Amino acid sequence: MPTVDIQENIKQIRESISKHSHEVAKLHGVLQTFEGFHKSGLKVIDLPIDPTNQEDNEDLANIQEKPE
């Protein structure tokens, strides 16, 4: 007969709620940052390196690992 460990379920649910609450707080912070950018009139942010370009990311990683 299958069983359910009540205490373990409570623990897992609380951990999940905590994890999601932290993630929501992070997202709220990021949202506030971008809303601040928008309020100050910023429309676009030019990035020095394309985050979708793997070669650029490797170059950046090398620079970060061995700063001059």
Band (66; pLDDT cuts 50, 70, 90): low
Give me the domain span that covers residue 14. Answer: 6-65
Q: Say how many domains are in the chain.
A: 1
Q: How confident is the model over 3-13, as a mean pLDDT?
A: 97
The answer to whether residue 15 is domain-embedded is: yes
Residue 50 makes CB contacts below 8 A (sequence gap 6+) with: 56
- Closest to 60 in 3D by CA, of 46, 45, 52, 34: 52
How far, in Å, CA of 59 to CA of 65, rounded?
10
Q: How confident is the model over 5-10, as a mean pLDDT?
A: 97
> Do residues 49 and 60 make contact, with C-beta atoms less than 8 angstroms apart?
yes
| pLDDT digit string, tens, across residues 18-48 | 999 999 999 999 999 999 999 999 999 988 8
pTM of full prediction above 0.85: no
Q: Residue 52's pLDDT is what?
A: 80
How far, in Å, CA of 12 to CA of 34, rounded?
33
The answer to whether residue 1 is domain-embedded is: no
